[in-house]
Structure 1
C-alpha cells in the first residue's frame, strides 16, 4: 500500500464507513459517502480526458464540494490547484494559465470571472459549476450534482508516491508560484507529525493507518476539526483538513465567507469540535471578543469539547494566547512556524505554561545559516536565514531560477529557505525575527516589522497593526505603522510611539502611525504589506 492521501483516505473510508467525514452547514457526508462522491468526480475528470498530472483548478469557497473535488483529483492522480477566490480577471487568468489548468471547478457566484477568462485558456477540457446562488452562465459548464449523478464511481487504482501535490503561494513577494511536493513524503510527514498530536502512535506502514484510526474512533477519541481559514491556503488545508482527515476526523467548514467569530463558537458547540484552526492574532482576537460577548440571549457558548487551537502563518502573541486560555482553560495552543515551502518549528502553550511570542522549538531538521552558508552557533546572537530540512519541496512549478534560490543543498543536505530570519538561543530555541523581504533599512539599522507590530499591538486600544518602510530623505526608510483601533478607542499616534520606545530600541519605533478602519490582510489573516505600504505612503 502506497503512502498517498487518496489511498490512505480510501482505507479509512473502508474502516469507518458510517462515521461523518465532512460537514458544511446542515449537510454531512459519511466517510463512505465522501469516498463515493469523490470517486464519481474522479471518473468525470478521466472521462473528460484528464489523467495523471493533469491540473484541476478549484476556484471555490470552503465547503464539502471543495474537499470532494480535491479528493477526486488525488484519486485519479491529478493535481488540484488552489485558486484564491478573491482573484479577479487578470489574477485569475495568470494562475490558471501558469498552472496549465485543464479543468476548473468553481462556484456559480464566481462564474462571471470565469466567463471572462476561459477563451484565453486553450488547455481547458472541463468546466464544473457548484451552485451557490445566482451567477452568470459559462458556456459548456456542467452542474456539479449532475456530473456526480451521471458518472459511476471510478475504480480504485494503484498510485505513486512521487505523484505531485502543488500549493500555490499567495504572491506576497511576487506573482503566485506553485510549490511542488511529492505526495508520498507530504502524506507521511503529516501522519508522522499529526498522529502524536491527537494521541495516536505514528504508524510504521501506511497499511496500519486505518486500523489505528478505527481503534481510536471506537475508543471514543475522534477528532472534529473546524478550519476557520480558507481551504485554498496552506494553513486551512494542511492543519485544518489534511492532518485531521488522515486521523479519521470530521472536517467542518463554515458558511460565512469571512471570519464570523460567533458562527465559529456556535459551530464548536453544535458539532462538539475538538480542534480549531486559526491564523494568529487576526483570528484569535475576534474569537476572544465573541466569547466575552456571548450569545444574543445572554448565555455563554459551550466550548468544553475544544482540546486544541492550532495556528500558523501569522504572529500569535503571548498576550492573546493567555486571553484565550483564560476563557478556554483546557485547550492546548499549537503555534506552528512554517510556510508553503516547509515546516520549521512549533510552540506549545497551556494554562500555567509561560511562553514568549515568536519563540519556537525548532524541528530536528531545521537549521539557521548565515549568508555564506555557515551554520549559526546557538547562543551567539548571530542572525541567519531559517532552513527547513526533511520533506523539502521539489521546487516551484515552471520557475527553475527561483527554485534554485529557495531550495539549496548545504553539506549534502537539501533545505528550503522560505526567507525567514531568526536567531538561536543556547538551548536551541528559535527566535523568529521576520521575512527578509520586509526588512526595513532605517538610518543604517535593520528593523524587522513583526517585532514592531507585536509591540504596537500591545498598546491598549490597538486592535491590529502592520509596519512598513516608507521612503524618507533622512533615514532612507522611515518605520511607519498602519494600525486599527478597538471600537470606541481614541488612542493616538504619540501614545503608540511612546509605548513602543519603552519596549524596543528607539530606532525601531514608528516615526508615524496611520490609522485605518481595517488593517489590510488576506482571508487567511496574512499581511498584505503592499497595500499597507500604499496606505502609509503620502500622496505625491
Structure 2
C-alpha cells in the first residue's frame, strides 16, 4: 500500500493536493484545506506539549484496550470541533465525542469511562463541567473555546485561541500507524454509552470514504488524488451534530472527497429556515440529515419559505428512519432527479447497506454492501436472497477491535462463526423477493404480541404516513390478552385531530399484517428524540404507561 492509512496523514495528503480549496464554511468564516490543516497541526503540537499521545502500541494490547491518551471534545458544531478532531489524531492521541445534551451524571460517566486526560469544550458548558471536575482525577487539562455565553475561564483552564497561537503550524514528526485508534462513543440509545475502538485503516475503508460502493478502493495516493478530482465532494451541508457518528462521518467523507463542509448558521438546534437560507446563500448541492426528525422541519420550512432549491442534487439520510411519505413530499419540492441516499449502519458495524430508492416506493429496501450478510436466526448459516427468512444483519471485514474496557461485550458483539469474525449489533432483517434487504429494526425494540414478533420501525413508517401524524414511535404496552400490544405514540400536524384506533388501523391495513397494526394510540405534544434524530423509546414507553390511550 502506497498510502499510510491514518486519518491525520490523509488530511495532509488531501490538503497537499488542493490547499486553496474551501474546506469549511460557517457563517462568515472560511477555512481552506491548508488553513484547516495548519490549525489542526497547532492543536496536535499543543497536545504533544502537554505530553499526550500514544503510550502503548497496538501489538501489546487486548482488543478492548486503548494505548492512546484520550481527549474529550464537548462542543457544538464549528471549526473548533474539526480542528480538535484532526489535531488529536496528529498528536497520536484519540478524541472522545461527548454529547452536549448530557446532564452531570452522564457527563461524569463518559469522561470517567473514557479516561479522558484533556477536554476541549465550549464555554457554555463550563458550569456543567465544573460540577463534575473534582470527580475526575485523570482530567488534567481544560481548554475552553470562547462563545457568547459569557462564562469565564474555569480555574486552571486555558483559552483555545491563545493555546493555538503559541504553536507553529508545521507538520508533526510522529510514528503514525494504521493501528492508531479512532474512538466513537455510542449515543446510549440501547443502554449506557460505549466506546467503540476502530483502527484508522478499518474505519477509513469501512465508512470514511476509503471504499465507497461503486468506486475503487482508495489504497494509493494516486487513487486518492483521482477520487478528489472527480468533484463528488461538492458543497455539503452537515446538519447532524459532530458529537454523533453521523455528523463526524459526513465530515470525513466530504473532506476525503475534496468537498466543502458547510454548517448552518444555527448549530445549537435544528432551524429549518436557517438551513434553507444557508443552502441558498452557499449554493449547497448535498445535505445530510437523520431521518424524519430532520426531514420534517426542513419540509415545513420549505413549504413556508418557498426557498430556491435548484442547487440540490442529493440528500443523504442515516441513523434514523426516513419515511417514504416524508421523502415523497420533500422530493416534490426539490429539483427532478434529486437523489435520496439512505444508509444503514451502526457505531460498531460501520456502513452495512445503502438505498438509492425512488421517492415513490412505499417501503425502503437496501442493497447490502459486500461486507454484510443476513445470518439465520440461530446464527449458523448465511441466508440467501429469496428465502424470506428473518435473520440478523452481520458485518465482516473492516470492523472495530471492540468496546473500550468491556471484554465481555466485545466477545458477544464480535463473534467468530465458521472462521469469520462478524459484528452482530442486534438488527433484524430479511431479503426481499428482488434480493434487496428489508430492514426490520433492533431486536431489543421488538414487541412480542400474542406470540408474534413486531419490529417497531416497520410499523412506524406506516403510521407516519397517516395525514394527521407528524411523528410517531411505536412501543409495546401490557395487555391481558396479548401479553404486549402494539401502541402508537404520535404527535400531530398543526390543526389535525388525533385519529381513532379504528381510523389508524384502517390506514395501516393495506400495508401491515393485522397483528402488527397498533391496538392503541395516544397523542403527545412532540416525540422525544436525540439531537441526531434517534428515538427515545424509554420516554415513549413511560408516556404510554402514564397516559393510556384509546384501544381497539
Please state which band the TM-score falls in when normalised by the shorter chain.
over 0.9
Aligned to 2:147: 132
User: Which stretch has the larger CA shift, 201-210 or 521-530?
Assistant: 201-210
Aligned to 1:146: 162
Q: CA deviation at 1:88?
A: 1.0
- Corresponding position: 1:415 with 2:426: no
Q: What do the CA deviations read for 1:220-265 (whole angstroms, capped 9, x no partner)? A: x651111111111111111x20111101111112232121111111
Aligned to 2:93: 78
Which of 183, 186, 199 is the equivalent residue of 2:200? Answer: 183
CA contact (8 A) 2:210 2:219 kept: no
> Whole-Å Cα distance in 2 between the matches of residues 415 and 16 of structure 1?
38
Aligned to 2:290: 279
Q: CA deviation at 1:91?
A: 0.1
Flag the 1:358–1:130 CA change in 2: closer, same or farther, 3 A. same
The count of aligned residue pairs is 525
Equivalent residue runs for 1:151-166 within 5 Å: 151-153=167-169, 155-157=171-173, 158-166=175-183
> Whole-Å Cα distance in 2 between the matches of residues 274 and 193 of structure 1?
22
Q: CA deviation at 1:390?
A: 2.4
Stretches of structure 2 that go unaligned for 5 or more consecutive residues are 55-67
Which of 447, 458, 463 is the equivalent residue of 1:456? Answer: 463
Aligned to 1:297: none
Q: CA deviation at 1:137?
A: 4.1
- Corresponding position: 1:251 with 2:264: no
> Whole-Å Cα distance in 1 between the matches of residues 332 and 538 of structure 2?
35
> Whole-Å Cα distance in 2 between the matches of residues 309 and 512 of structure 1?
34
User: Secondary structure of 2:356's match?
Assistant: strand
Which of 514, 523, 544 is the equivalent residue of 1:536? Answer: 544
> Whole-Å Cα distance in 1 between the matches of residues 330 and 216 of structure 2?
29
Flag the 1:99–1:206 CA change in 2: closer, same or farther, 3 A. farther
Q: CA deviation at 1:211?
A: 5.6
Equivalent residue runs for 1:47-446 within 5 Å: 47-52=49-54, 53-133=68-148, 134-135=150-151, 137-153=153-169, 155-157=171-173, 158-189=175-206, 190-194=208-212, 202-206=217-221, 208-210=223-225, 212-213=227-228, 215-216=229-230, 223-238=234-249, 240-256=250-266, 257-294=268-305, 300-328=306-334, 329-342=336-349, 343-350=351-358, 354-373=360-379, 374-446=381-453
Equivalent residue runs for 1:487-526 within 5 Å: 487-494=494-501, 495-526=503-534
User: Secondary structure of 1:181's match?
Assistant: strand
User: Secondary structure of 2:366's match?
Assistant: strand
Task: Please report the RMSD computed on the Cα atoms of aligned residues, expressed in angstroms.
Answer: 1.9
Flag the 1:38–1:251 CA change in 2: closer, same or farther, 3 A. same
Flag the 1:41–1:204 CA change in 2: closer, same or farther, 3 A. closer
Q: CA deviation at 1:289?
A: 2.1
CA contact (8 A) 2:289 2:317 kept: yes
* TM-score, length basis structure 2: 0.91
Which of 4, 17, 25 is the equivalent residue of 1:23? Answer: 25
Q: CA deviation at 1:78?
A: 1.1
Q: CA deviation at 1:201?
A: 5.3
Flag the 1:355–1:510 CA change in 2: closer, same or farther, 3 A. closer
CA contact (8 A) 2:233 2:255 kept: no
Q: What do the CA deviations read for 1:487-539 (whole angstroms, capped 9, x no partner)? A: 11113233223322443222222222120111010011111101111111137
Q: What do the CA deviations read for 1:321-346 (whole angstroms, capped 9, x no partner)? A: 22222221232110001111222211
User: Secondary structure of 2:168's match?
Assistant: coil
CA contact (8 A) 1:316 1:357 kept: no
Q: CA deviation at 1:463?
A: 0.3
User: Which stretch has the larger CA shift, 77-86 or 356-365?
Assistant: 356-365
> Whole-Å Cα distance in 1 between the matches of residues 101 and 492 of structure 2?
25
Q: CA deviation at 1:83?
A: 0.5
> Whole-Å Cα distance in 2 between the matches of residues 384 and 136 of structure 1?
54
* TM-score, length basis structure 1: 0.93
Q: CA deviation at 1:482?
A: 1.0
> Whole-Å Cα distance in 1 between the matches of residues 284 and 77 of structure 2?
17
Q: CA deviation at 1:406?
A: 0.9
